[in-house]
Structure 1
Amino acid sequence: MAMKAPSLRAVFVGLVSLCLACSDSKPAPDEPPPTPVEPWDGNYTPLVDPTDWVDRGPFAACSFTPPRGTALDCDDPSLFDLSKCDTAALSAVESHGIYQIDMRHASGAPDLAGLRVPQDGSTATLNVGGMLSTALTRQQLQGRFQVSAQATSRNTTRQLVLMGCDVTEPGVVTGCFAKCTNGKVASSGTFEAARMTWGRGEGESSGGLRLLSETHVQTVRPADVFVHRQHAYVVSIDDADTQRPGGLAVVDVSDPSHPVLKKKITVDGDSYWNAAWAKDNTLYVASKVSGVIVFDITNAANPVFVRSVPGGPSLNVHTLFMDGNRLYAVSSGPAPTGETLIFDISTPLNPVLLNRFTAADTTSPVPSAHDSFAYQDRLYVNSFSAGYVVFDVKDPLNPRELGTYTFDTENSFSTSHAGAVGTFAGKTIGFEGGEYQGTHLRVLDMTDPTNIQLIGRYKLRPQTSIHNIILKDKRLYIAHYHEGLRVLDVSIPPNPREVAYFNTFRESDPGRTDDLLEGAIGIRVPGDGHVYVVDTARGLLIFNEP
C-alpha cells in the first residue's frame, strides 16, 4: 500500500525537535563605498513575507526510482536514475569538506542534513533528523558525490543516501536522496549541498573589522557571552555527541588583545548553560535544569554560587534579558508552550519572581518561547513557530498581549528566534530572525502591534541560519553561524546594508561538526569599543568595533 507523503507541518515539527541574498545592497569587494543617503523619513512599502524556507522546486533532474513503501536497501546506486545529469561535473568536487544540505522531498516538504568529510581522513559523518553525526557507511567523493549513513534508535533504523547529479557553481552540488526506515522506502527527493567555505567569493573580513584575540575557553560548545567589569562570562552547553558537559568560563578582557582565562565552572547534572547577564555584583546564568543560577561576582574573576531561582521543580530557562531592575527569563519548556518569567532584581543577589506568563497561541507546531527583548514598557517575545509576540509589561503583575507577527506554518517553514527593537523616524522598528535553514533577518514596523508590517529583509545563503543579534545605535550586529559576524547599517530600516563582516567559520578548526548550528553563535557589543563573538569551535573572539 502506498504511504502518505509527510505533511509540511509534520516535517516542520520533526526538524525543530532536533535541537541568493535578498539584500542586493552589499557592494562587491572592489566597489567603492556607496554614496551617503538622506535620513529615513519613515515611509516604506509593505512586503509580503516569503517565509524562511522557500520552495525553489526540484534541485536536480535525477530521481530515486523505487516507490514509497518498497522493501529494499536504499544504499544501492543503481536505484537512482542519473540519465539526465551532468555527472562529469562532479569531478570538480573535492574529496573532503563540510556541506549543509537543503533537501526537498518529492511532496515539496523541506528537510536538511549536514555532511562532514575531514581532510585528515578521520571519521566522516552525516547529520540528519534522528541520526545525529552518524558515521558514513558509504563515502565516494572523488569524481562523484555518493554518501550514506544508517543509525538505529529505539528499534527504528533510519537510512539516508545522497547521490550527486551536477555541480551548479563552485562548491554547490545538486542531486537526489532517499530515506529508508526499517528497510522500506520512506521518502525521496532532491537536494542542494553547499560547501561551507566563505560565500560569494569573500575574503576573511571587510569593513575594517580586525580580530584582536582568540581564546579557546572550553572544549565543549560555547553558546553565549556577557561582558561586565572587564570580564567576559562565556557559557556553554552540553555536547550531545561526546556527552561532555558545558559550563562557565571567566575571561579577563581588560586587555582585549591578550585575554586571560581565569576560571572554569562545571556542575555535574546541571551544565547546559545557554545565556548570561550581569548586574552590579551579580551574574545570572540560564540553566536547562535549574532555571536561573545566581552567582556573586564581587570578585569578578571568581563567581560564587548563591542560589537558583525560582526554585522548585526542574525548569529549563533558555535565554535572559535585563531591563533596569527587571530580569526576563524565557523558558522553552516544559511542553507544550514554555513561558516567560519576570524577576525583580532591585536586590541583584536576591531575585524575586513577580510573574510568569505565556503567549495565547498554543496551536502552532512549536509555539515555545525562546528569547525576549524589553523596550519602552513592552516585551517582545520570540515564540518560535507561533511568531513574534508583543506584550505590555508596564504592570508586571498583569502582562497584556498586544499583538503578534505570525507565520503561515501550514505552508511555510518559519520561526522567530531572536530580536531587537528601536525607534527610527518616530516608529518602533523590530529586527527579528529565526533559526534553522533559510532563516534570515526581518525588519518590522511594530508601532501598531495589532498591525505589524514587514518592511525589509536581509538574507544570505539558503543553507545557513542566523542566531543572535545586537542593535547598537544604527548598527545591527549578527552572529550568523556559518556566515560569521555580520554588521549592518540599519539607519534606513527598509534597506539594511551590510557594511562589515568577519568569516569566523573555517572547516579546519578543531571541533567543527556537520551541524547546521555551527559557527558564530553569541555576540555582545558592550560599548567599550569592542565586539565580543562566541564561535562554537573557536571560543571567544574579540574584534574592534568598526
Structure 2
Amino acid sequence: MTTSPHPLGPWRCIPLMLLLLSACDDASSGDDAGSLPDSGSDAGVADSGPPPEDAGPPDAGTPDAGPPPWDGTYTALEDLGDWIDSGRHDTCQFVTPEDLDPQLCERIASFDLSSCSSEQLSGVENQGIFQINVRQEMTYSATRPPTASVTNSFVGFRLSADGTQDAYSSGPLIARVTEGGTFFLAARSSTRSPWGNIVRTTALAGCHVLSPGVITGCYVSCTDNPTSGFTKSVGTFKTERMSWAPGESESSGGLSLVGEASTTVGLPVDVYVAKEHAYVVSLSKAPLVGGLSVFDVKDRTTPTLVKTVTIPGDGAWNGVWAKGDALYVASDSSGLVVFDITDPAHPVFVRHAEGPDAVHTVFVEGARLFANSSGTGTYVYDITSPLAPVLLQLITWAPEGYTGGPHDIFVHGNRLYISNAGTGFHIMDISDLDDVRHLGDYLQPDFADAYAHHNAVGTFAGRTLAFAGGEYTGTHVRVLDVTDPTNVPLIGTFRMRPHTSMHNLLLRGNLLYVAWYHEGLRVLDVSYPTRPRQIAHFNTYRETDPRRGHNIFEGAFGVRVPGDGFVYLVDSSRGLIIVNAL
C-alpha cells in the first residue's frame, strides 16, 4: 500500500507535520546487498555503558540496524523538494502595483484588506520571534513589462512588547502597527555595491490568523538598484511564531531533562562526549568569541563548566570529535586543531594538522579522520597515533557543471557518503585511498538546488540506506536506498513544520536522532524506513532565552548518544542539555 506523498493538509498547522509514506514490492537489488550485516537489536537503545577504547567511536557508522519488521521492499517516491508550494497564502491585494511611487511601499493604505478579518488580527500577541515565507507572484519595473513568476523566500523577524528589539532580518523596522485589529510591518535595508547602495523596502499587511501565532496576508517589496532601476514585487506571505509546535509540551515519549549548563563562549553548535566530559564548540557571536567549553558531566544532573579555551582571531569552531587522548576541533578559521585530553578537564593545544586552513566538520571512523573543507574537499588522515594525524589523501568530487565542497560526510563499510552542500549527495568507494572512485549520486533537481547538509547510513533488511538531511526552510529527512549507488531511489520522508530547518542527525540502532533547530530533538523509529515514525521529542527552543536570535538557525544544533544512558544536545542559546536516553 502507498499513502499520499503530501503532508496532511499542505502546510496546515497540525502537530508534528508527519509525512507518512508507506512502501511495497519492486525493490531493486544492488551488487552489495547484504554485504554488511544487520546489527543486534539493542544497538543504541539499551544502555550498554561506555564502549572500550578499541571499539571505535560510537557515532561512526558501525553496522547499526536491528532486526526490523521491514522486508526490504518499497516503491520509489517522487522527490517533491523541500518547499511544496500550495498557492497564494491569502486573498488580500496590493493596490495599483503598477504605480512605482516608492512611498506606496511603506503604507498600509496601499493594500486592499477588505476581505480580511480584523477580529482575528485583534487577538495577535504583539511580541515574539517569527519565521516567514514570502511568496512573490508579480514583478513590476520602469524598464520592463510586468512579469508573472512565483518564487519563495524566507526570513525571520522579532517583535518586542516595547518595540526596543524589533527587527526584520538584519535590520530594524520603520513602521509597525500590531493592535486594534491591524497587523502591519515595514522594514528597510541597504546593501552596498560598487555602483552605489541598493535599498529595499518590504511591507507586510496581515489579513487572517489561521491558528494562534500563524498569520497570513499580502506584501510588497520595492528595490531601488543603481544599475537596474526601481522594481516592485508583490505577493502573499505566511508567518508563524516559533513557539513549540501546536499541542506539544516540553517533551514526549519518555524523554525528560536531566541537566543543563550554559557557556559564555560564543554560539554553541556541536558537542562530543568522552572521559565523562562534554566538549562543546562555539562560533563567534558578537560580543562573544567562539571557542571550546569543557563540562564535567560525572553528575549528569549538574554538568559543570570547568574550562573554556579561546584563541585570538580563531573563533569559528564548528565541529568536534574525540579518540583516545585526542580531541579534534574543526575550525573554519585555522583548519584541524588537535588537543591532548589526557587530563580531560584541561585540554592542551598540540598542533594544527597539515591540510586546509578551514575545516567545517570532522568525522572519525576507526583509525581514519575525515576533515571536510567547504568548497574544497574531504581530507583523510591516519590517526593510528591519535595526537599525530598524518594526511593521507584529499577527496574531491562534484558533477560536471557544479561547484562546492562537502559540508559533512559519513563512512559505512568502504564507502564515503558526501553531503556536498549545493551540489547534492555523492557516494564514493574509498577501499583504496590511492584510487578513490565515484560510484553514484542523488541529484534530483530539487535536492541539488537545496542544501545537502548531513547524513547517516545503516543496513536494514540487507539493504544499505542513507538518511539524508538538508538545511534551510522546509528541509526534512530523506530516506535513500544506496545499495546500488548507480540507482538511488527515494523511499521515505519525514517532515516537520515547513518554516523550520533541520541540522544534524544521528542513527543509533533503529532510532534516528535529529537536532532540528526550532523543533528541538526529534527521535524517529526507522525500523520501517519507508515510514519514519516519531516516538519522542524534546523541545530545547524557547524564545525568551538569553541571546536568542530570530534567524532560522536557532535551537538544537547537535546531538550525541554515546551509550551511557543519556542524550547530549547543544542549543544555540542554552548551551549543553542532557536528557535521558530511550
TM-score strictly above 0.5: yes
The 1:329/1:425 distance shift into structure 2, 3 A limit, reads same
Q: What letter corresponds to residue 217 of structure 2 in structure 1?
A: G
Match of 1:398 in 2: 435
Separation of aligned partners in 2, 1:292 and 1:23: 39
Deviation at 1:476, TM superposition (A): 0.5
Of 522, 530, 543, 1:494 maps to 530
Deviations 1:1-42 (A, max 9, x none): xxxxxxxxxxxxxxxxxxx824359xxxxxxxxxxx971111
The 1:38/1:301 distance shift into structure 2, 3 A limit, reads closer
Are residues 1:81 and 2:119 paired? no
Separation of aligned partners in 1, 2:311 and 2:73: 52
Are residues 1:504 and 2:540 paired? yes
Separation of aligned partners in 2, 1:179 and 1:412: 28
Match of 1:40 in 2: 70
Query: Looking at both structures, which has the greater relative contact order when contacts are Cα pairs under 8 Å and sequence separation is at least 6?
Result: 2
The 1:480/1:449 distance shift into structure 2, 3 A limit, reads same
Are residues 1:135 and 2:149 paired? no
Structure of larger gyration radius: 2
Find the residue that maps to 2:530 and give its secondary structure.
Answer: coil
Q: What letter corresponds to residue 494 of structure 2 in structure 1?
A: Y
Deviation at 1:123, TM superposition (A): 1.3
The answer on whether the counterparts of 1:233 and 1:248 sit within 8 Å (CA) in structure 2 is yes
Match of 1:298 in 2: 342
The 1:38/1:360 distance shift into structure 2, 3 A limit, reads closer
Q: What letter corresponds to residue 494 of structure 1 in structure 2?
A: T
Find the residue that maps to 1:108 and give its secondary structure.
Answer: strand
Are residues 1:247 and 2:291 paired? yes
Deviation at 1:398, TM superposition (A): 2.2
The 1:193/1:495 distance shift into structure 2, 3 A limit, reads same
Deviation at 1:219, TM superposition (A): 5.2
The answer on whether the counterparts of 1:47 and 1:456 sit within 8 Å (CA) in structure 2 is yes
Match of 1:472 in 2: 508
Find the residue that maps to 1:78 and give its secondary structure.
Answer: helix
Deviation at 1:203, TM superposition (A): 1.0
Separation of aligned partners in 2, 1:166 and 1:514: 23
The answer on whether the counterparts of 2:377 and 2:395 sit within 8 Å (CA) in structure 1 is yes
Separation of aligned partners in 1, 2:473 and 2:449: 9
1:286-435 alignment to 2 at 5 Å?
286-311=330-355, 315-333=357-375, 338-361=376-399, 363-364=401-402, 367-409=404-446, 414-435=450-471
Separation of aligned partners in 1, 2:265 and 2:158: 19
Match of 1:453 in 2: 489
Q: What letter corresponds to residue 177 of structure 2 in structure 1?
A: Q
Of 269, 274, 281, 1:223 maps to 269
Q: What letter corresponds to residue 233 of structure 2 in structure 1?
A: S
Find the residue that maps to 2:122 and give its secondary structure.
Answer: helix
The 1:219/1:164 distance shift into structure 2, 3 A limit, reads farther
1:516-531 alignment to 2 at 5 Å?
516-531=552-567
Match of 1:70 in 2: 100
Q: What letter corresponds to residue 383 of structure 1 in structure 2?
A: N
Of 448, 454, 479, 1:443 maps to 479
Match of 1:29 in 2: none
Deviation at 1:118, TM superposition (A): 2.8
The answer on whether the counterparts of 1:290 and 1:309 sit within 8 Å (CA) in structure 2 is no
Separation of aligned partners in 2, 1:453 and 1:518: 32
The answer on whether the counterparts of 1:209 and 1:502 sit within 8 Å (CA) in structure 2 is yes
Match of 2:209 in 1: 167
Separation of aligned partners in 2, 1:350 and 1:516: 38
Q: Which moved more, 1:447-456 or 1:219-228?
A: 219-228
Gaps (5+ residues) in structure 1? Answer: 1-19, 26-36
Are residues 1:482 and 2:526 paired? no
Deviation at 1:139, TM superposition (A): 2.1
The answer on whether the counterparts of 1:53 and 1:414 sit within 8 Å (CA) in structure 2 is no
Match of 2:301 in 1: 257
Q: What letter corresponds to residue 359 of structure 1 in structure 2?
A: W
Find the residue that maps to 2:344 and give its secondary structure.
Answer: coil
The answer on whether the counterparts of 1:71 and 1:185 sit within 8 Å (CA) in structure 2 is no
Normalization by structure 2: what TM-score?
Answer: 0.83
Count of aligned positions: 501
Are residues 1:462 and 2:498 paired? yes
The answer on whether the counterparts of 1:101 and 1:112 sit within 8 Å (CA) in structure 2 is yes
Separation of aligned partners in 2, 1:220 and 1:421: 31
Separation of aligned partners in 2, 1:361 and 1:68: 43
Q: What letter corresponds to residue 213 of structure 2 in structure 1?
A: G
Separation of aligned partners in 1, 2:99 and 2:413: 56
Separation of aligned partners in 2, 1:52 and 1:385: 13
1:273-288 alignment to 2 at 5 Å?
273-288=317-332
1:168-187 alignment to 2 at 5 Å?
168-182=210-224, 184-187=230-233
Gaps (5+ residues) in structure 2? Answer: 1-15, 22-66, 138-148
Match of 1:202 in 2: 248
Deviation at 1:434, TM superposition (A): 0.4
Match of 2:182 in 1: 144
Are residues 1:543 and 2:579 paired? yes
Of 70, 92, 103, 2:123 maps to 92
The answer on whether the counterparts of 1:280 and 1:348 sit within 8 Å (CA) in structure 2 is yes
Q: What letter corresponds to residue 210 of structure 1 in structure 2?
A: S
Q: What letter corresponds to residue 119 of structure 2 in structure 1?
A: A
Deviations 1:474-523 (A, max 9, x none): 10101011111111111111111111001111111111111111101111
Are residues 1:21 and 2:27 paired? no
Find the residue that maps to 1:439 and give its secondary structure.
Answer: coil
Deviation at 1:378, TM superposition (A): 0.6
Deviations 1:434-460 (A, max 9, x none): 000000001111101110111111101
Separation of aligned partners in 1, 2:167 and 2:548: 11
Match of 1:9 in 2: none
Separation of aligned partners in 2, 1:115 and 1:219: 25
The 1:425/1:102 distance shift into structure 2, 3 A limit, reads same
Deviation at 1:67, TM superposition (A): 4.0
Match of 2:90 in 1: 60
Q: What letter corresponds to residue 396 of structure 2 in structure 1?
A: T
Deviation at 1:201, TM superposition (A): 1.0
Deviation at 1:105, TM superposition (A): 1.1
The answer on whether the counterparts of 2:566 and 2:578 sit within 8 Å (CA) in structure 1 is yes
Q: Which moved more, 1:454-463 or 1:148-157?
A: 148-157
The answer on whether the counterparts of 2:68 and 2:460 sit within 8 Å (CA) in structure 1 is no
Deviation at 1:194, TM superposition (A): 0.8
The answer on whether the counterparts of 2:265 and 2:293 sit within 8 Å (CA) in structure 1 is no
Q: What letter corresponds to residue 327 of structure 1 in structure 2?
A: L
Are residues 1:513 and 2:513 paired? no
The 1:68/1:514 distance shift into structure 2, 3 A limit, reads farther
Report the RMSD for the aligned CA atoms in angstroms: 1.9
Deviation at 1:163, TM superposition (A): 1.3
Q: Which moved more, 1:504-513 or 1:466-475?
A: 504-513
The 1:72/1:495 distance shift into structure 2, 3 A limit, reads same
Match of 1:8 in 2: none
The answer on whether the counterparts of 1:446 and 1:452 sit within 8 Å (CA) in structure 2 is yes
The answer on whether the counterparts of 1:178 and 1:188 sit within 8 Å (CA) in structure 2 is yes
Separation of aligned partners in 1, 2:289 and 2:265: 9
Find the residue that maps to 2:106 and give its secondary structure.
Answer: coil
The 1:362/1:236 distance shift into structure 2, 3 A limit, reads farther
Match of 2:191 in 1: 153
Deviation at 1:390, TM superposition (A): 0.6
Match of 2:155 in 1: 113
